[in-house]
Structure 1
Amino acid sequence: MASAFQTKKYENFLHFIRSFVPLFSIFMLQGYLLSIDSYTQWLTECNLQVLLWFYFLLMLNERGQVYILTLVATIFFINFNFNRGIHDITPLSLAIAVIGLLVIAVSAFVIQKYSVAIIENKLLFVIAMIVFATSWGLLILPSQELDVLLFIALICKLIVYMTCIHLVNSVGRIQYEALIERINTDFLTQLSSRTAFEKSFDQSFKAAKNKTIQLAFIILDIDNFKLVNDTYGHLIGDAVLKEVSHAIRENIVNYKGAELFRIGGEEFGIILENTDYAEAQKMSLNILKAVNELSVNTDKGTFGVTISIGVAEWHEKDKTKEMFYNRAESYLYFAKNNGKNAVTVDGVIVNR
């Protein structure tokens, strides 16, 4: 089980790389844009800068980018309006620039917070894009005479760019979501997979340690499953897996906070949030009874199915999720080593 959780330690590193690369790219672009003296040239190049910010705010959906973007916008505000200003800055134009700065900060926050809705709604997407791009023009208004027609043309150009990216990304997102769905779903039983289990188990364990939930875990294993495969064939074995998974699912459907997974071979797991031993035991006994009632018909005859179950409730002595998992698994083995077809709760068989 320990190796099953090892991949988790790489997720933070990948998350850092995913955040660092776009932010580094944007900072490099900001350095280039700040070196441009010509307002017209800057406004032309600004398309790429706005496009990058808008795209990463939508795709990465991370709060840190809002703060960094606000800081960069402030630097632009000071640089263009005070360090390079060649025109008189009137109170009105300065007020407009300040409004542009505020709109950048607010729109970035809104885009980041509601990124999923903006991506899925074309009208929201266009509105957010126009507001975001226009605010950058307002930001530097005091330092230059704004060519309205040029700016409108560039906004239209930006819309074309972003629409193309949006369409391409939508196709990619659909493919990505389909891939994630396949990864998180067991192809045979259509239950959540081992990959999905690792993520959910980790989250639930952390919540239990933080005392925000009460956590129980049930691990189930079909008895003598290898003998079924050897005697009746793997097709019958697959049918047994489907029947057992269906019986388990039917008996947890009314339990709020119960998640069922196929965690490997003939082994299943149920994560129960805000459930105590009494409820977990009741659920396990119902599952045991439902599986015992199954009857599998084959050319070689009819046979029944039994399972063994281990039930554990999280305690503070479970310092790691591996310790918690292994404790539940030890109860499962206790049931198997003591006649099978049994439910073991905290090391005690409760159905005999």
Structure 2
Amino acid sequence: MLNNMLVTANQFFDVFIHVFNASSFEGLFIVFGLIIICYIAVGMLDDNFFQNRALQKRTAMIVGFVPLIAVLFLQLYWMATKADKLSLYESNLQLVLIFYFLLMFNTKIQVYVDSALAIVLTGIFILDSPDYISGSSLFIGLVGLILIIITMYIIQKYAQKIVESWLLQVTAVLFFANAWWLMLSLSEDVSIMLYIALVLKFIFFISIILGINQIIVRRWQKYQQMMDELNKDFLTGIFNREAFDEDFTTLFIESNQTNFDWTFIMFDIDNFKSFNDNYGHLMGDEVLKEVTKTVQETLNHSYIGGKLYRLGGEEFGILIRKQDHERIEQLVRQIGSEIHSIDIKRAEFDVRLSISMGMTMFRADSDANVRQIYDRADGFVYYSKQHGKDALTDEGNLIHFE
């Protein structure tokens, strides 16, 4: 019996070594490269500089297809460089890409795309089924397909919790690997030993990826925290004057080089000084928070977007690029009206708020520097205040909010 166990162990060791061939580790480096490239691409798409709802939907759609593109790229690479060595064993690296992006990008679109991929592969294996696919093998493969769809749905739904727990990660990896290899076993006559070796190979590779990812994520979070402290206003949580100066200058330079339109909107809270004088600074702070919250939510729910800054005191700025002027004016009117809906109640008084706004577009033929644009918008805010407040001055045209 001991001899049989030793023979079995030796056979499994041979299979295990065969599965972990040199090209696998070469492919692992390619996977690292693909992950980095995908993160850069998604980072460019998901940049919240001028994000809006339409772009968010479009970005989510594109991000959902990024893993599939990476998988296809890896397949094309192997077909071009190792056509004679192409085998089922290398599928683990593609599964690593699918699992990693499912966990980290966390988009429902990817669940749909990857489920469709699994269904298509299952159909191909069945249609091209050689003689060795028996009824039991077909049943196991179809069970694997169902488990793939269910597992990916659960991983996507609870991705944040899984990322934060090693136990959940191990569980997710085991279910994911077994589900996919149950289905992929339709493509070849996979023995029990080979099946176990392939699952272990996936676990080994994804453990390396997730381990390195955790180190990078921790450092990135520290960097993001540091950047937030530098670029965010401590009271309202929106971008501060330093971030505005940098973005304002960058936008001016880019628009001069590539010739696109953009708009600068400035506003401040009417009668803000009286809130501080009559009701105290705590009330003033609450007013600032409520106004920024309302404006930010309005921007987030619009199809235009924009980036909101606190310029100092009760003064704020918004930068919007590449949008129709009329649509921006409608958005600004909506912001002015939404401010009216802010209701800060106290036992002894009710606070009613309004803002005065100035809006101007970049003028390529006459704006020599950012100061000209800033002063023009500032002048329009002053004009709104001098003519009854609670209004927008759009390139000199006064519009009172309803």
Please, which moves more after superposition, 113-122 or 134-143?
134-143
Q: What CA distance in whole angstroms lies between the structure 2 residues aligned with 1:118 and 1:220?
A: 44
Deviations 1:153-185 (A, max 9, x none): 332232222122112222322333344444555
2-structure distance, mates of 1:77, 1:37: 22
Offset at residue 125 of structure 1 (A): 1.0
Which residue of 121, 124, 128 corresponds with 1:83? 128
Aligned twin of 2:284: 248
Following TM superposition, by how much is the alpha carbon of 1:336 offset from its aligned partner in structure 2, in angstroms?
5.4
Whether the 8 Å contact between 2:61 and 2:109 is mirrored in structure 1 is no
Distance 1:254 1:6 in 2: 22
* 1:29-81 deviations in Å (ceiling 9; x for gaps): 4567899999x974421210110110111122222222221222122212223
User: Secondary structure of the residue that 1:219 maps to in structure 2?
Assistant: strand
Match of 2:157 among 113, 117, 140: 113
Q: What is the match of residue 106 of structure 2? A: 61
Q: CA 1:60 to 1:189, structure 2 compared with 1: closer, same or farther past 3 Å?
A: closer
- The verdict on how the C-alpha distance between 1:67 and 1:245 changes in structure 2, with shifts beyond 3 A counting, is farther
CA contact (8 A) 1:310 1:329 kept: no
TM-score of the pair, normalised by structure 1? 0.56
Amino acid at match of 1:333: Y
Counterpart position of 2:145: 101
Letter in 2 for 1:152: I
Cα 1:52–1:189 change in 2 (3 A) is closer
The 5 A counterparts of 1:102-181 are: 102-142=146-186, 144-181=188-225
2:95 — aligned with what? 50
One-letter code aligned to 1:104: I
The answer (yes or no) to whether the contact 1:137–1:151 under 8 Å persists in 2 is yes
CA contact (8 A) 2:240 2:309 kept: no
**8 Å contact from structure 1 (residues 86, 143) kept in 2:** no
> Which structure has the higher relative contact order (CA within 8 Å, separation 6+)?
2
Q: Does the 8 Å CA contact 2:107/2:156 hold for their aligned counterparts?
A: yes
Of residues 139-148 and 26-35 in structure 1, the stretch that sits farther from structure 2 once superposed is 26-35
Between 1:75-84 and 1:176-185, the stretch displaced more is: 176-185
Per-residue deviation at 1:277? 2.5
Indicate how the Cα distance of structure 1 residues 156 and 137 shifts in structure 2: closer, same or farther if over 3 A, else same: same
Contact 2:356 2:389 in 1 (8 A): yes
In 2, the alpha carbon distance for the partners of 1:219 and 1:123 equals 51
Per-residue deviation at 1:137?
1.6
Matched-pair contact (CA < 8 Å) for 1:310–1:332: no
Deviations, residues 99-123 of structure 1 (Å, cap 9, x unaligned): 1111111111222222111111111
Note the C-alpha offset of 1:253: 7.3
Q: Could you say if the C-alpha distance between residues 100 and 30 of structure 1 is closer, same or farther in structure 2, counting changes exceeding 3 Å?
A: farther
Gaps of 5+ in 2: 1-47, 245-265, 274-279, 297-307, 318-333, 358-376, 393-402
TM-score normalised by length of structure 2: 0.50
Q: Secondary structure at the match of 1:263?
A: strand
Gaps in structure 1 of 5+ consecutive residues: 199-216, 225-243, 289-308, 313-327, 348-352
Distance 2:345 2:389 in 1: 12
Instruction: Decide whether the 8 Å contact of 1:81 with 1:140 is kept in 2.
Output: no
- Return closer, same or farther for 1:281/1:58 CA change in 2, 3 Å cut-off: closer
Count of aligned positions: 266
CA RMSD of aligned residues (A): 5.2
Q: Give the distance between the partners of 1:179 and 1:142, measured in 2 at CA.
A: 46
Indicate if the aligned counterparts of 2:270 and 2:356 stay in contact, CA closer than 8 A: no
Residues 69, 178 of structure 1: alpha-carbon distance in 2 compared, 3 angstrom cutoff: same
Aligned residue for 1:192, secondary structure, equals coil
1:262 Cα shift? 5.2
* In the alignment, structure 1 residue 333 sits paired with structure 2 residue 372: no
CA distance in 1, matches of 2:195, 2:133: 21
Number of the residue aligned with 1:26: 71
Indicate which of 266, 269, 282 corresponds to 1:220: 269
Over the matched positions of the two proteins, sequence identity in percent amounts to 25
**Change beyond 3 A, Cα 1:278–1:128:** closer
Q: Distance in 1 between matches of 2:170 and 2:94?
A: 17
Q: What is the aligned partner in structure 2 of residue 264 from structure 1?
A: 311
2:122/2:145 contact within 8 Å kept: yes
- 1:193 corresponds in structure 2 to 238
